[in-house]
Amino acid sequence: MNNRPYLVLALVAAMLTAACSSSEPDARAIAAAAPAAWDAFRDGFIEDELRSDPPFAVDAGRHEYDGKLPDWSKEGLAAEVARLHAARDAALAIGPLGLDAARAFERDYLVARIDRELFWQETAERPFTNPTFYLGGLGPSVYLTRDYAPLADRMRAYVAYARAVPAAAAQIRENLRLPLPATFVERAISGFAGYASFFEKDVPKVFAPVGDKALAAEFAEANKGAVAAMRELAKYFEAQRATATQDFALGAERFAKMLAATEQVTTPLAELEKIGRADLDRNLAALREACGKYAPGRSIPECFAKLSADKPKGGPVAGATAQLGELRQFVIEHDVVSVPGEEQALVAEAPPYNRANSAYIEIPGPYEKPLPAIYYIAPPDPSWSRADQLAYIPGKADLLFTSVHEVWPGHFLNFLHANQSKSMVGRLFVGYAFAEGWAHYTEEMMVEMGLHKDDPAAHVGQLSNALLRNVRFLSAIGMHTGGMTVEQSERMFREEAFQDPGNARQQAARGTYDPAYLNYTLGKLMIMKLRTDWTSTRGGRAAWKAFHDEFLSYGGPPIPMVRKAMLGEDDDGALF
């Protein structure tokens, strides 16, 4: 274990002890030293974070970690928790004496990051209870789709990665406690079997142009071992179906701790549920009005059927590609938010191992040279009926707001701004509610600013996405604190978010292993309230662009931190 946090903590403790027992000039000297102590600690902590999580480091653009996976042994996981506790103590021991406002904010931001990690690893025990802890870290896309180095070099990195996969698979199997909830078992099967299929069928095609025979032989051997390890792991979880449970709920106490530790939200759960229900009702009322214009005389399900039937020309990948240019131009022409740089996002079909959600984006990190992000769209599950597969493919208007969410001005623009942050903490650590809250907020905001204002289908499309996130919010609280079953959640997705059967199944299942997916609506509502409060004394609607630029300048800390920083003494403390 790296002991830098312990050394810094000891140094700072000695400084503070001296300050308490010595003269005022000594205290001033200690205060003067605090900025340098903080900078050294912050930089050391970042390096320790990258070292402990090589996939995160590689994604951020630190390619000296190529091919490595984390130490997921029980001893390695315990050491990581100890490191985080020591780092937290050391960070809190520095300042606030002597830290300027920027460093004090950075310190609180870093502590918030540590609190989030400690909740998932220690309180929720995610490495021992939830296979999704591992699925993200195993992803090899960076070596295959990001052109950060010549293909042969990326092939060598993949070979090292593939050789590490069997040991990781053994650690995963040893760590996860049985029996697991049924939805966790199914996610593990789909994820690990998806990796096996992807390694076997798709990865060789990527590296086929490399003409190095010796390297090709190394690749074949390493890839064969990775395929076997993932296939065996999937079979292991297939055998767990017989004993799978429905015991997935965090419970009210841990769910409340999740919100406090990961997003600094302490609003009582009953109040949060009322807030979520009110937003759902607001959007349902808006939907009834929008459908009255788009499909007069028809029911809401018929309105959605009409929306869904209007599929993007050439399929969703081609349709989304066409939408991105239009959306970027709208953002610029309507002064929605500043666009730093000329970076663009590409669109592609999601790989088989990562289709648990319908769309997502992969964005090169702050250490990476300028490279395009990739906006992935998942095809329907081929095991579904033809009708369910067709229903899963989004209509044009629905896809438009997925493109808003993922790219312009959602996630992609968020990360363009984050990468401009003066602080590497802000560039590296973008939180769940900040990222997803911003992306979801932009969907409604773009309609408010006039996107497709003469097309009633567009408003229906925006509302379909809002209702999906509303039901996620209520399902997360209901399933983890109120005894809601997966079947009841699925029915809510069908009846109140008007989702097709395939999406409803997928979304209800996701809520069991991703209880924080309420963060889309949670974050959106906090941003909307902050916008109202901040712009009320700065010109109202005319100040929206300034608000967006200011909000995004912080990187991605918990939104309550941003609220305090932006409002200062004007903060009324009300998040919603």
Reduce the secondary structure of 65-78 to three states and give it as a string.
Answer: HCCCCCCCCHHHHH
Measured between alpha carbons, how far is residue 321 from residues 118, 223, 347 in Å? Answer: 39, 32, 6
- HSE-CB at 102 with a 13 A cutoff on CA atoms is 11
Task: Please give the chain's pLDDT, 576 residues, in tens.
Answer: 455 555 555 455 545 545 555 555 566 776 778 899 999 999 999 999 999 999 999 999 999 999 999 999 999 999 999 999 999 999 999 977 789 999 999 999 999 999 999 999 999 999 999 999 999 899 998 999 899 999 999 999 999 999 999 999 999 999 999 999 999 999 999 999 999 999 999 999 999 999 999 999 999 999 999 999 999 999 999 999 999 999 999 999 999 999 999 999 999 999 999 999 999 999 999 999 999 999 999 999 999 999 999 999 999 999 999 999 999 999 999 999 999 988 889 999 988 767 767 899 999 999 998 888 999 999 988 888 998 888 889 999 999 999 999 999 999 999 999 988 989 999 999 999 999 999 999 999 999 999 999 999 999 999 999 999 999 999 999 999 999 999 999 999 999 999 988 889 999 999 999 999 999 999 999 999 999 999 999 999 999 999 999 999 999 999 999 999 999 988 888 999
| pLDDT at site 2 | 53
| pLDDT at site 341 | 84
Those residues with Cβ within 8 angstroms of residue 160's Cβ, 6 or more apart along the chain or in another chain: 66, 67, 68, 222
| pLDDT at site 10 | 47
Residue 403: other Cβ atoms inside 10 A: 27
**pLDDT single digits (tens) 509-519:** 999 999 999 99
Measured between alpha carbons, how far is residue 559 from residues 219, 473, 518 in Å? Answer: 45, 17, 14
Distance of alpha carbon 145 from alpha carbon 542, whole angstroms: 40
Q: Say what the pTM is.
A: 0.93
Where does residue 368 fall: left (phi above 0), alpha (psi -120 to 50 degrees), or beta otherwise? Answer: beta
Distance of alpha carbon 462 from alpha carbon 474, whole angstroms: 19
Strand partners, 359: 377
List the structure tokens of 107. Answer: 């310190």
Domain boundaries of the chain, sorted by first residue: 4-52+71-133, 150-243, 256-526
| pLDDT at site 384 | 86
| pLDDT at site 11 | 57
Angle subtended at Cα 366 by Cα 364 and Cα 371, rounded to the nearest 5 degrees: 35
Nearest alpha-carbon partner for 355 in 338, 327, 380, 378: 378
| pLDDT at site 80 | 98
Measured between alpha carbons, how far is residue 109 from residues 48, 82, 92, 555, 560 in Å? Answer: 17, 20, 11, 10, 11
Residue 265 is given by DSSP the state -
What amino acid occupies position 132? Answer: T
Measured between alpha carbons, how far is residue 530 from residues 46, 148, 335, 566, 568 in Å? Answer: 30, 38, 19, 9, 12
| pLDDT at site 1 | 47
| pLDDT at site 344 | 87
Nearest alpha-carbon partner for 440 in 414, 421, 419, 422: 414
List the structure tokens of 219. Answer: 């690749």
| pLDDT at site 17 | 47
Residue 130 is given by DSSP the state -
Measured over the CA atoms of residue 144, residue 147, residue 153 and residue 157, the dihedral's sign is negative
Report which secondary-structure segment, H or E, holds 4. Answer: helix 4-21
List the structure tokens of 308. Answer: 């869904």
| pLDDT at site 370 | 84
Report which secondary-structure segment, H or E, holds 190. Answer: helix 182-197
| pLDDT at site 12 | 56
| pLDDT at site 92 | 93
